[in-house]
């Protein structure tokens, strides 16, 4: 398996950049940069491209709907060329709370918007004049004064496209059109029905196989000295998971909640969301079980983490995206370094 991490630059930006530089020295293969509702990803990626030499750099993810498809292509080409071909284009729908609540753009029909965005990005990258007529995007704008144009720059290297996907429909789209799948809330024991069956349907529709796509899954990694420390770690993560189940999205649209529901925790996930939405955050966290935390993270003693990594590998994960625990930069790097070693040994 390849190793990866995800960072974001909303706070401690220079420390984050230092973390990535040092992670490259540890042998990390890929660094994804998130934007969510914080700092934008492309600015940080350009900075990291200048500070690093080998590591692959990806947008994890650019939010489709707040940038035009051609702007996405321009950004991807610029970052790929400046980094010497080290850029991976990660795209995602985000959710209505961010897209509508923050950007004031309709969240409607995200699947179609992403599909058409990928089509247009790939058309732009061929270097020809851009002409597209879809359900969501029309280039040039009909009835206006514009005519088809081509960019004055072209990609010097291939630009792999990754899609962040949790829902069955988005997974099928990922299988049809993407070079990689960015996943989360991943339980390897239940991934066949919850995720891979839909991904494989999309791959088959495009005449492709699982080997044609990079399965990149993410989870926090933390090492406990013993079972007592592990119990404390798990207890400390309950509220974080409750936020994902109850606060990541609107009252009716939460893709994380749905993902956990499909993997056997439908009743708990529904109750956590209900309590979180009415302000009972402690009550929501209390409903989260130890199994829910451990199943979707790489938290444990070194022996347990090693064993879980083998399970992830056997389930079909190609790239493991790790969020290392630690109160300081040095502590996070120690955790990441040991995790990279374990992946290499797996």
Instruction: Per residue of the chain (346 residues), give pLDDT as tens.
Output: 999 999 999 877 789 999 999 999 999 999 999 997 889 999 999 999 999 999 999 999 999 989 999 999 999 999 999 999 999 999 999 888 888 889 999 988 999 999 999 999 999 999 999 999 999 999 999 999 999 999 999 999 999 999 999 999 999 999 999 999 999 889 898 899 989 999 999 999 999 999 999 999 999 999 999 989 998 888 888 888 888 888 776 666 777 778 788 878 888 888 888 898 889 988 888 888 888 888 889 999 999 999 999 999 999 999 999 999 999 999 999 999 999 999 999 8
Instruction: Say whether both 48 and 91 belong to one domain.
Output: yes
Write out the residue range of the structural domain in which residue 245 sits.
225-298
Instruction: Say whether both 138 and 20 belong to one domain.
Output: yes
Instruction: Say whether both 246 and 318 belong to one domain.
Output: no
Instruction: Say whether both 270 and 319 belong to one domain.
Output: no
Instruction: Say whether both 38 and 113 belong to one domain.
Output: yes
CATH of the domain at 64: 3.20.20.30
pTM of the model: 0.91
Please report where in the chains the tokens 């060329």 appear, as a residue. 81
- Number of compact structural domains in the chain: 2
Measured between alpha carbons, how far is 82 from 328 in angstroms, rounded to an integer? Answer: 31
Strands 62-63, 87-92: pairing kind: parallel
Measured between alpha carbons, how far is 184 from 241 in angstroms, rounded to an integer? Answer: 12
Measured between alpha carbons, how far is 132 from 20 in angstroms, rounded to an integer? Answer: 38
Which residues, at least 6 apart from 282, have a Cβ–Cβ distance to it below 8 Å?
239
121 and 72 Cβ atoms separated by less than 8 Å: yes
């Amino acid at each position: 398996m390849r190793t990866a991490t995800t960072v974001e630059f909303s706070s401690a930006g220079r420390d984050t950049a230092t973390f990535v530089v040092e992670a490259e020295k540890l042998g990390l293969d890929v660094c994804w940069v998130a934007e969510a509702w914080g700092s934008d990803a492309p600015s940080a990626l350009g900075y990291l491209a200048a500070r690093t030499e080998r590591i692959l750099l990806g947008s994890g993810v650019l939010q489709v709907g707040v940038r035009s498809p051609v702007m996405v292509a321009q950004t991807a080409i610029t970052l790929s060329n400046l980094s010497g071909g080290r850029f991976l284009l990660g795209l995602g729908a985000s959710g209505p709370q961010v897209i509508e609540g923050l950007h004031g753009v309709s969240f409607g029909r995200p699947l179609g918007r992403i599909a058409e965005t990928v089509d247009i990005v790939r058309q732009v990258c061929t270097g020809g004049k851009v002409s597209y007529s879809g359900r969501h995007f029309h280039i040039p704008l009909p009835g206006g004064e514009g005519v088809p144009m081509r960019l004055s720059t072209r990609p010097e290297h291939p630009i792999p496209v990754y899609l962040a996907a949790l829902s069955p429909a988005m997974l099928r789209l990922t299988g049809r059109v993407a070079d990689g799948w960015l996943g989360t809330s991943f339980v390897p024991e239940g991934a066949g029905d919850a995720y891979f069956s839909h991904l494989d349907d999309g791959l088959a529709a495009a005449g492709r196989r699982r080997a044609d796509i990079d399965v990149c899954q993410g989870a926090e990694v933390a090492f406990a000295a013993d079972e007592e420390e592990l119990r404390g770690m798990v207890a400390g993560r309950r509220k974080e998971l409750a936020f994902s189940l109850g606060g990541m999205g609107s009252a009716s649209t939460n893709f994380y909640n749905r993902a956990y529901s499909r993997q056997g925790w439908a009743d708990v996930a529904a109750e956590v969301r209900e309590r979180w939405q009415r302000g009972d955050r402690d009550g929501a966290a209390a409903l989260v079980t130890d199994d829910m935390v451990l199943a979707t993270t790489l938290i444990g003693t070194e022996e347990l983490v090693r064993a879980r990594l083998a399970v992830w590998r056997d389930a079909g994960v190609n790239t493991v995206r790790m969020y290392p625990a630690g109160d300081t930069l040095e502590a996070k790097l120690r955790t990441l370094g040991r995790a990279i070693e374990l992946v290499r040994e797996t």
